[in-house]
C-alpha cells in the first residue's frame, strides 16, 4: 500500500518519539514514511510540565493531533493534549486493523504471484475507494457474497481476496452501510463536524457499534454493526438524527443515504 505524502490538518496520527529536548520533542510519523514532526512542550499535557521526561520517552509511540502545518517550512506541529481518551483508543484500534489488513493483503499478493505495486493498482486502490479502508473490504467480503462484484479487477484475484478474508476475518455482525454528506459554513466548521460525528457514535446501546470513515469532503461512510438488521437500521437512524440535530443552526447541510445490498 502506498503511503500518503503528508497528513491533513486536525488528523490523528501515530508518532514515534525520536529526540527529546527541554522545550519539546522531535518525532517521526509512522503512517507517512517517517516524516519528521515536532511536539512543543506546551502541547504535551494540559497542566504545567516541569520535566518533559516525565511524560515522554525516546522510541515511545503516541497518538497525536496535527494542529499546525507550515508547508513553506516543511513544518508539522503535533499536539498530545488535544487528543481525548476516546480519540486515542479509536486511533489505536484503527491502526491495529490497518496493519492486520496490510498483512493479509500481502498474503493475497503472494497467492496471486504478482508484485505488490501491480496488485495494489489492479485491486487494492479500488477496494479502498469503495469500502473506505482495506479492513472494511475484508469484513464486507466475509458477510456479503456480492461485495466484490463491482470491483474492477481480475476475477481470480477477487476469489483469492475473498478466500483470505474468510480464512482470517471473524464474521462480523450484521452491517448496514450508508453515505453521510455534511457541509458547514461556520468558521470552525471542521471542528464542529468532527465533534458531532464523535458524539453521534457514542452510547448506541443495542449491542451495536458504528464506525464513520472520512471519504473526502463532504462525504463520510457510516458502517453500523449489530446483532440483526432491525437493530442496525435503528442505530443508523439514531446516528443520522443525532448528526442532523447537532448541526441545526450552524449554517449546515446534512444528507444520509443508505447503500442497497
CATH of the domain at 51: 2.40.50.140
Question: What is the arithmetic mean of pLDDT over 19-32?
Answer: 96
61/129 same-domain check: no
**Is the pLDDT assigned to residue 2 strictly greater than 50?**
no
Residue that terminates a domain, selected from 168, 183, 218? 168
Give the three cell numbers for residue 179: 453515505
- Range(s) of the domain holding residue 57: 12-79
How many of the other CB atoms lie within 10 Å of CB of 211? 20
Separation CA 138–CA 161 (nearest Å): 8
CA distance 39 to 37: 7
Question: In which order are the strands placed within the sheet that holds 219-226?
Answer: 209-216, 219-226, 174-184, 252-258
Report which of residues 1 and 230 the model is more confident about.
Answer: 230
Domain co-membership, 158 together with 215: no
Least-confidence region, from 145-149, 161-165, 213-217, 237-241: 213-217
Query: 63 and 86 in contact (C-beta within 8 Å)?
Result: no
Banded model confidence at residue 90, pLDDT cuts 50, 70, 90: confident
Q: Mark out the alpha helices in 19-133 (DSSP H runs).
A: 85-112, 116-119, 125-131
Q: Are residues 163 and 189 in the same domain?
A: no
Residues 104 and 75 in one domain: no
Mean pLDDT rounded to a whole number for the chain = 88
pLDDT digits (tens, 9 = 90+) for 201-244: 887 765 678 888 888 778 888 888 887 778 888 888 888 888 88
- How many folded domains does the chain comprise? 3
pLDDT, mean of residues 102-122: 96
The answer as to whether 1 is a domain residue is no
Q: Given pLDDT bands bounded at 50, 70 and 90, which one contains residue 259? A: low
The percent of residues above 70 in pLDDT, for the chain, comes to 94
Q: Is residue 62 domain-shared with residue 31, that is, in the same domain?
A: yes
Determine the average pLDDT of the residues in 248-254.
76
Amino acid at each position: 500500500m502506498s503511503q500518503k505524502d503528508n497528513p491533513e490538518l486536525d488528523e490523528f496520527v501515530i508518532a514515534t518519539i525520536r529526540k527529546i529536548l527541554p522545550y519539546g520533542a522531535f518525532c517521526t510519523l509512522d503512517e507517512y514514511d517517517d516524516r519528521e514532526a515536532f511536539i512543543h512542550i506546551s502541547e504535551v499535557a494540559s497542566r504545567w510540565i516541569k520535566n518533559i521526561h516525565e511524560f515522554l520517552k525516546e522510541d515511545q509511540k503516541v497518538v497525536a493531533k496535527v494542529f499546525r502545518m507550515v508547508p513553506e517550512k516543511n513544518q508539522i506541529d503535533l499536539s498530545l493534549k488535544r487528543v481525548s481518551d476516546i480519540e486515542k483508543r479509536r486511533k489505536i484500534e484503527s491502526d491495529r486493523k490497518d496493519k492486520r489488513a496490510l498483512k493479509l493483503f500481502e498474503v493475497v499478493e503472494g497467492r496471486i504471484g504478482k508484485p505488490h505495486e501491480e496488485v495494489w493498482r489492479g485491486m487494492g486502490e479500488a477496494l479502498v475507494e469503495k469500502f473506505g479502508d482495506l479492513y472494511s473490504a475484508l469484513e464486507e467480503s466475509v458477510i456479503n457474497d456480492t461485495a466484490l462484484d463491482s470491483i474492477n479487477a481480475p476475477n481470480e484475484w477477487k476469489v483469492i481476496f475473498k478466500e483470505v478474508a474468510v480464512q482470517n476475518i471473524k464474521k462480523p455482525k450484521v452491517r448496514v452501510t450508508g453515505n453521510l454528506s455534511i457541509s458547514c459554513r461556520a468558521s470552525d466548521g471542521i471542528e464542529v463536524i468532527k465533534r458531532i460525528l464523535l458524539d453521534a457514535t457514542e452510547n448506541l446501546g443495542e449491542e451495536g457499534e458504528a464506525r464513520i470513515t472520512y471519504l473526502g469532503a463532504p462525504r463520510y461512510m457510516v458502517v453500523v454493526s449489530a446483532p440483526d438488521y432491525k437493530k442496525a437500521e435503528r442505530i443508523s437512524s439514531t446516528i443520522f438524527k443525532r448528526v442532523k440535530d447537532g448541526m441545526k443552526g450552524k449554517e449546515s447541510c446534512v444528507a444520509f443515504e443508505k447503500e442497497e445490498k
